[in-house]
Amino acid sequence: MVIIDGPPGIGCPVIASITGVDIVLVVTEPTLSGLHDMERVLQTAAHFSIPALVCVNKYDINRENTEKIEARCSALGIAVVGKIPYDRSATAAMLDKKSVVEYNGGGIAREVKQLWERVVAAVSAGRPSLA
């Protein structure tokens, strides 16, 4: 599996990032701009007939907006395959030049592992709309 970390938005770099992919995982944060950008990327993926999934990063910094994101995804038939809480260990892991999974076996590391398993299962099944 090859993972391409694309930029936010829907400009040419995003379109180039999703060209030829099997699935798009939109990682958003629970802000109004995050919701807006998520919708735009989902529309772009749909335009190119690329299945999409969503993960809400730092979901607990604004639970109301997280609920809005989940509701919008549900209305679109898009699965929210992960909700990663805010955790200072993510910054500590970056400073230690490690992923959160390598840095710390608990907390968000478990959430990231579960997210990975859900994405792999969706790609393997060939039908990522798990909502």
| Residue pLDDT, tens place only, 91-113 | 888 899 998 888 876 679 999 99
Segments forming the whole domain that contains residue 102: 12-125
Predicted local distance difference test score (pLDDT) of residue 131: 42
Q: Is position 131 within any domain?
A: no
β-strand partners of 65: none
In a domain, 77, yes or no: yes
| 66 in a structural domain | yes
- What pLDDT, on a 0 to 100 scale, did the predictor assign at position 89? 87
Task: Please indicate, yes or no, if residue 63 is contained in any of the structural domains.
Answer: yes
Residue 84 pairs in a beta bridge with 57
Quickly state the pLDDT bin for 12 (edges 50, 70, 90): confident
What is the average pLDDT across 46-66? 95
Kindly list the distances between the CA atom of residue 65 and the CA atoms of 18, 39, 44, 108, 112, in Å, as whole numbers in the listed order: 26, 13, 22, 20, 21
Residue 120 has pLDDT above 50, yes or no: yes
In a domain, 7, yes or no: no
In a domain, 76, yes or no: yes
- Distance of alpha carbon 19 from alpha carbon 32, whole angstroms: 27
Angle 68-110-105 from CA coordinates, rounded to 5°: 145
CATH number at residue 32: 3.40.50.300
Number of domains in the chain: 1
Amino acid at 47: H
